[in-house]
């Protein structure tokens, strides 16, 4: 996973990168949003688990970087979605 963040001089640069997050690679969509209302950006990985929708949420760690804060192999929905939106409710 690579996270790109705005740079002070404009444009975007890598703020975090990992060659292996310890999870599967079958993502069908990636989202950025605030999962728990703390004002920090979480990364949502939606993946196909044999036709079921799986979801992993990566959250900022106190020492830097990201780690898994939630994971489910079956969210109760199908995995055929082609677009997703993230919003705080």
DSSP the chain: -EEEEE-TTSSEEEEEE-S--SS-S-EEEEEEE-SSSSSS-EEEEEEEETTEEEEEEEEE-TTSSEEEEEEES--SSBS----------
Q: Does residue 66 lie in a domain region?
A: yes
pTM: 0.72
Residues paired with 4 in a beta bridge: 14
- Chunk the chain into consecutive blocks of 10 residues (it has 89) and report each block's average pLDDT, rounded to whole numbers: 87 86 72 87 87 89 90 82 62
Residue 12 lies in a domain: no
User: Residue 38 belongs to what domain range?
Assistant: 23-89
In a domain, 83, yes or no: yes
How many CB atoms sit inside 10 A of residue 85's CB? 6
Q: Which residues contact 27 (CB under 8 A, 6 or more apart)?
A: 45, 46, 47
Quick check: is 84 in a domain?
yes
Number of structural domains, the chain?
Answer: 1
The per-residue pLDDT for 89 is 52
Return the closest-CA partner of residue 1 out of 18, 22, 24, 25. Answer: 18
In a domain, 45, yes or no: yes
Would residue 43 count as lying in a domain?
Answer: yes
């Amino acid at each position: 996973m690579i996270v790109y963040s705005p740079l002070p001089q404009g444009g975007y640069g890598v703020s975090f990168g990992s060659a292996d997050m310890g999870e599967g690679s079958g993502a069908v969509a990636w989202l950025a949003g605030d999962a728990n209302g703390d004002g920090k950006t979480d990364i949502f990985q939606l993946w196909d688990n044999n036709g079921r929708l799986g979801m992993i949420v990566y959250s900022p760690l106190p020492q830097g970087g990201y780690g898994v804060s939630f994971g489910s192999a079956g969210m109760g929905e199908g995995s055929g979605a082609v677009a997703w939106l993230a919003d705080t409710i």
